[in-house]
Structure formats: C-alpha cells, structure tokens
Structure 1
C-alpha cells in the first residue's frame, strides 16, 4: 500500500506534477480497494483525488474517471472528499471543455447538470437527458438562484464552502397563523415516498386539503408563525437539503427534485410543461418551530388542481 503525506502531495500539486499525482492516485486506490474494500480504498485516496480534480488541466483531471488505469483505479460517482470528485471537476471547467473528455455516462450526466446549475448555457453542446430533465434552468429555478448555495465552492487544497439555507429563512413576510384541523392523510402516493427519500431527515405527509392543514399534521402547535412564499424561494433550500452529505452533489439534487415534481403531477416520467404548470400553481406554506436551531425545513406544497398538499418538516443538529 502506498502511503503519502498530504504536505508532499500538495507540494507535487504546487509543482503541477499532475501525471505523477494521477499515477499515485490510481495505484493507491487500487491497492486500498483490494486490501480494505472499495469504499475504504476510495476514502483513503479522496483527498488526492480532490487535488487533481481541482487543479489539474481538464485533459488530465477527467482521467480520474477513465477506466484505462485498470481495475480499482477509477473514481466513481460515489468517490468524495468534501464533495463528489465529479462535482469538484465540474466547478473548474466549462462543459465545452469537459464534454469531449468524459466517457462514463453517469459522470457525464452529473457534470452536465452541475454546469447547468452554475448557469452555463450549453447551447448546441447540450445532450438529451435520459429522464427528460431540461438542459437549462427553468425560470422558477432561476428565480432565487444562489450559486454559492446551490453548488459548493471548493477550495484548492481540500474542503468546501456553502451558504446554509433553511425554511423559513427568516421572519420577514411571516406572521401569526391559526392552523386548521389536520387534513385527511392520503397514503401510498409515489410523490410522498420520493419526498421522504429526497430529504431523509424530514417527516413527510400528504393530505387532502390546503397547505396549512398539511402543516398541522407535522406540528403540535395550533398557532404558528408562518406564511406563503414562492416556489422560486423554496427551490434552493429544497435542493440543498437533498444534498447535504459530502457524497451528494447538487446535480443529484436537481434530478431528484424534478422526479419529485413529476410524481406530484401523477406522471411516471418527467414532462417539462406539466412540471412547469404544477410549479406555477403550487402554494408554498412555511412555518417556524420553537426549537429551530441550525438546519431546519418546514414546508407544505399545496396543489389547488388536485386538492392535495404535501408537507415536510424536520431539523438537523449534526454538522
């Protein structure tokens, strides 16, 4: 097993000895995977992968995901340090530069959607998404777009920064609300299951009734501080909540939210016009809980066309 000191690796990076670093990465990853298993091997080499994905020329950095190094040497979509290695790479170069270099389709797709979230206009370079998620941000995705919140800002030597979003984001626009009786719970809907898996640290419910009646399912208070907000204001917090862990990238969050919205229309596949129509009519209700601290999300999404509302509520206390 090759061992190395981070300081020595950073020196090699400062000297731009990228082929040597790629060779070290591949050898260390393969040996680690053989001796300690795939996940452990990937974890041990992730800091080196970050240095390469961040600083190397795209022609070399993209080779992290190229299987030409042999079994066990290739970074996958799950390889991560402070964030997925494919997302680190995607924040450093345009799709025009990366498209000819990336072979594996899962990585290509995630890098492509990361560039979309960062605001790149792909134009003729766009490729059709297998699920039909559009190759450009829709107006409601742009409405409250905060690049530093949607996609992590990665640092050259490792680590990342990201603004922390919550719902509600503050008390502006909120006021005292008397919640109605709890709405009748609707069981077994695909959208409810997707909501619970997209943000696994919240409790999710679907009810027949307005948004506040759905909120009443998830809070013990009858009188709350709450109010309605636009879906554009909700979207960044939802996307971030779906991608909090370092192995989750923002592109995965975007794809998950499009699947969720498609399921809320009752469809099995994504239809951009139907999703846009749903978003346009959604009424979004958010409220505050007395024990909210660092990370929390309290939201009800009401679809007036069906009379259904989906609510999710939860808090995280770990970093």
Structure 2
C-alpha cells in the first residue's frame, strides 16, 4: 500500500518531481486493480493521489483523472483519501487555471461546483450545468455558514479540517412546542426521494399540512424543544448531509439539495427563478431529539403555496 510514510515518495514531492509521482501512481493503480479490483486499487493509491492533487501544478494534477496512462490508471469521481481527489484539486486552483485542462465531464462538473462553493462566479465563461444548477451562489446559500468553510480545508499530509454542522446546533431560540397528531404521508413525491437520498441515515416524508405536521412524522414525542429558523440556517446542514463522508464531497451535496428544492417547487429541473421563489416563502422548523450525538439533522420545510411540507430527519451515529 502506498502511504505518506513512504519516504521516497515524499522526497519526490519535496523536490517537485510531480510527473514522476504521477507515473508511479498510475502504475500502482493498474497493478492493484489487476490484483484486487477497482475499489481496492482506488483505496490503495488514494494517499498518493491526494499528495498529487494537493501539491502538483494543475497541468500535472488534472492528469490524475485522464485515461492516457491506460485502462485502470485514472482516478474516478469516487477515489478519495481525506476527501474526493477532485475536491482536493478544486480547493487548490481557480477555475481559470483548471478549466482548459480538465477533461472528464463528471470530474469537470464537480470541480466547477466546488469552485462555486468556494465563492467563484462561473455563470459567465463556463459551460452551463447539465441540470441547470446555477454556477454562482445565491444569497441564501452564503448566509448561514458561520465561521466554517463550505468545503473541507485539506492538508498536504492527507487530513482535512471541516466544521461539524448539526441542526439544531443548540437550544438557543428554541422552546417547548406541542406537535399535532401524525397525519397520513403523501406517497410518490419526488422531493421526498431526493431528500431521503441525501444520506443513508436520512429519512424524509411529505404531508399535506404545515411544518409541525411534517415534524410530527419523526419527532420523538408529541412535545419537543423546537422552533422556526430561516432556510439559510437549514441549507448548510442539508449540503453537509448530502456531502456525507469522504467519498462524496460538498459539490455533490449542493447538487442534491438543488434537486430536492426543484422537486418541491414542482420544477422538472433546478430552475433558478422557481427555486428562489420557493426559498422566499418557505417556513422551516427544527427540533431536538434526546438521542442526538455528533451529527444529526431535524428539519421540516413548509411550502405555503402548495400546502405541502417535508421533513428530513436522522442521525449519523457512525460519522
């Protein structure tokens, strides 16, 4: 297995011999795939891939994802160490540097949205997103992150720094709330499936009624500690939930949340105007669960225009 303790590889990196390291990465990945399969190859070579994505010039780093080294030699969107290799790369260079070099469409799209999350406006000069997700952050996407970054801060050694976002983060501003009797859920709603897909620990449900009716679907009892919050507070935690652990990345979280909001608005694809109109009228409720530990989400989203509300709830006890 390639690790950062391999002194020779670290020495090559210190000396800036990045093409040589790329060649080692490709040969090791092909050999590991032949012996143990694609998943094992990705895991074994990920630390070296991280080192290249983090430190190499963009002209070399982007070639991690190119197949010009032969079948099995390229990293895919799922290759990750402390985080996806494409996300590590995206945190190191601007879109202006990366755009002329990146080839694979899936990697290109995720890198572009990572740069958007980092604050770049790519609405001009970049190819449109295939789903229509805007290539610039809306004001409500920027407002609720606090001191934490929207994308992990990756370290050369392979680690990363990120904020642990939870909803509710604390009990400030919350109080005792009596929830209504549970209503029958509305099946077959596309937004329900989109929100449930944010994470394997997330549950989602849709009801005809208000935010409290939706919260009653997952709340631990009829009386909870809860309160209404702006959607700007909910959004970062939804993105973090969709980003998940190391294999996913913040760009995937953002794309997943936009798909869910578009479905709530009844749009076939993420239309910017329709989603913004939805956000302007949403009422959002959050509540506490005594079982909450480190990573959890309890949110109910009410759309007064349709009379429908969605709840997204769960806790990651392994995260």
Q: Report the TM-score, using the length of structure 1 for normalisation.
A: 0.96
Offset of residue 92 of structure 1: 0.2
Offset of residue 243 of structure 1: 1.2
Offset of residue 177 of structure 1: 0.8
1:227 is matched with which residue?
227
Offset of residue 102 of structure 1: 0.3
Offset of residue 161 of structure 1: 1.2
* 1:11 maps onto 2:11 in alignment: yes
1:25 is matched with which residue?
25
1:105 is matched with which residue?
105
Contact 2:4 2:47 in 1 (8 A): no
Offset of residue 159 of structure 1: 1.2
Matched position secondary structure for 2:74: coil
* 1:202 maps onto 2:202 in alignment: yes
1:305 is matched with which residue?
305
**1: distance between equivalents of 2:34 and 2:83?**
24
Two-structure CA RMSD over aligned residues (Å) = 1.6
Offset of residue 313 of structure 1: 1.5
Contact 2:239 2:257 in 1 (8 A): yes
* 1:70 maps onto 2:75 in alignment: no
1:36 is matched with which residue?
36
Matched position secondary structure for 2:233: helix
Offset of residue 175 of structure 1: 0.9
Contact 2:4 2:48 in 1 (8 A): no
Offset of residue 268 of structure 1: 1.9
Of 8-17 and 278-287, the range deviating more from structure 2? 8-17
Contact 2:128 2:135 in 1 (8 A): yes
Contact 1:96 1:125 in 2 (8 A): no
Runs of 4+ in 1 over 6 A off after TM superposition: 1-4
Contact 1:146 1:236 in 2 (8 A): no
Contact 2:2 2:47 in 1 (8 A): no
1:270 is matched with which residue?
270
**2: distance between equivalents of 1:186 and 1:313?**
17
Contact 1:296 1:315 in 2 (8 A): yes
2:237 is matched with which residue?
237
Offset of residue 200 of structure 1: 2.4
**2: distance between equivalents of 1:160 and 1:177?**
38
- Structure 2, unaligned runs of 5 or more: none
- Structure 1, unaligned runs of 5 or more: none
1:180 is matched with which residue?
180
Matched position secondary structure for 2:276: helix
2:115 is matched with which residue?
115
**2: distance between equivalents of 1:3 and 1:240?**
28
Offset of residue 3 of structure 1: 9.3
**1: distance between equivalents of 2:233 and 2:7?**
42
**2: distance between equivalents of 1:2 and 1:245?**
22
